[in-house]
Amino acid sequence: MEITFARPLYLVLLISVPFLVVTHFFTYIHVKKRAMRFANFDAIKRVTGGDKRIIANTVFISRNVTVLILRTIILLFLILSASGPVIWFTGRATESAFVIAIDTSSSMLADDLAPNRLIAAKESASDFVNLLHSRTSIGVLAFSGASFIKTGLTDDLSLVKRELSTVEASRVGGTDLGGAIVDSINMMEEAESAKSVIVLTDGRGNVGTDPDEAVSYANEKRVRIHTIGVGTKEGGAFMKTLAVTKLDEDILRQIATDTLGTYHSAGNQAELEMAFTDIAASEEDKLPLRLSMGLMLLALVLIFLEWGLINTKYRTVP
């Protein structure tokens, strides 16, 4: 379990707590002097029988320590609420957000998966959509040397399947694996549910954002990265040439491990389908518990309690 803050800058306001305490006792001293100045000592003498010891120990005004504690707690709750505290825990998600990021670089046209890696990945991703429940939102991103959003997060699963079918090999050279991960995470910025990115690629990132930077960003945003290595260790030829491209597993396994995701090696259609099935059946994920609203409600309750106390038990009569 871990606590993070969406707006940590507001925590600077915690320095106001000591000022509240100092102001409270300064006000107490001032009000006490005023009470002493205008106290009716003749009336006190008649009530106490003129006993000087009782008069000397008479409390003309309370320190209101209870009120001070309440005000301090209220201030703390308001500041913490503004800072957006979130408790992250591992549990079973009832709502999920996925982005499927498909590598469309030329190496994905290798024929070690029939008819090629890209088509096999698209078909398996479409079957994965059928496994998702109705409370799941999903987006699709195609990437090579640059990323292209095919569809943003949506719960229209038929739309997602249509967009998957339109994914084609890109004419943009290179494979920006790190950039694709960052862009996929940004697509889920507004999602309140558990977030995961599924990357389908042969693992050969060679341009753009450093994958290590993408991993750090994923951990900062509490997004789990599942990687699927599409291709065989022996590799396959593509574009009717003798060139052979092989699956690069090391970086994909590292990305998944560092973000608490899973890595799957898919050397054939059956393994691709099994990878997606395992991801869909995953029962645990990083889940957020947002505390801002709860702290705000508690602060409001305490404000009414404090108002009642200062107008009854701790009322100051000038």
Q: Using the predicted structure, report yes or no on whether residue 159 has a pLDDT greater than 70.
A: yes
Q: Cβ(170)–Cβ(144) under 8 Å?
A: yes
* Domains delineated in the chain: 2-84+291-310 (no CATH), 91-288 (3.40.50.410)
Residues 6+ apart with CB under 8 A from 299: 74, 77, 78, 81
Rounded distance between C-alpha atoms, residue 96 and residue 129, angstroms: 12
Section 303-311 average pLDDT? 82
Which structure tokens are listed for 48? 């106490």
Q: Using the predicted structure, report yes or no on whether residue 70 has a pLDDT greater than 70.
A: yes
Q: Which helix (H) or strand (E) holds 201?
A: strand 194-201
Q: What is the pLDDT of residues 75-109, one digit of tens each?
A: 999 999 998 888 876 665 557 889 999 999 888 88
Section 276-281 average pLDDT? 83
Compute and round to an integer the Cα radius of gyration of the chain. 32
- Supply φ then ψ for residue 271, to 5 degrees: -70, -35
Residue in the block written with tokens 């409270």 = 24
pTM for the full predicted model: 0.65
What is the reported pLDDT for 36?
55
ω into 8 cis (within 30 of 0): no
Confidence of residue 142 (pLDDT cuts 50, 70, 90): very high
Q: Which residue has the higher pLDDT, 56 or 152?
A: 152
Per-residue CA distances from 84 to 8, 70, 81, 212 (Å): 8, 21, 5, 27
Rounded distance between C-alpha atoms, residue 238 and residue 82, angstroms: 55
Q: Which of 37-41, 150-154, 195-199 has the lowest mean pLDDT?
A: 37-41
Helix, strand, coil tally for the chain in percent (to 5): 50, 20, 30
Angle, CA of 95, 158 and 123, to the nearest 5°: 95
Confidence of residue 48 (pLDDT cuts 50, 70, 90): very low
Rounded distance between C-alpha atoms, residue 228 and residue 233, angstroms: 14
Q: Which residue has the higher pLDDT, 54 or 147?
A: 147
Pick the closest to residue 97 from 189, 183, 198, 193 (CA basis). 193
Pick the closest to residue 260 from 297, 217, 223, 308 (CA basis). 223
Rounded distance between C-alpha atoms, residue 91 and residue 194, angstroms: 10
Please, what is the end-to-end C-alpha distance for the chain in angstroms? Answer: 51
Section 148-163 average pLDDT? 91
Instruction: Report CA dihedral (216, 164, 252, 218) to the nearest 10 degrees.
Output: 10
Distance, C-alpha 285 to centroid of its chain? 12
Pick the closest to residue 226 from 204, 202, 258, 186 (CA basis). 258
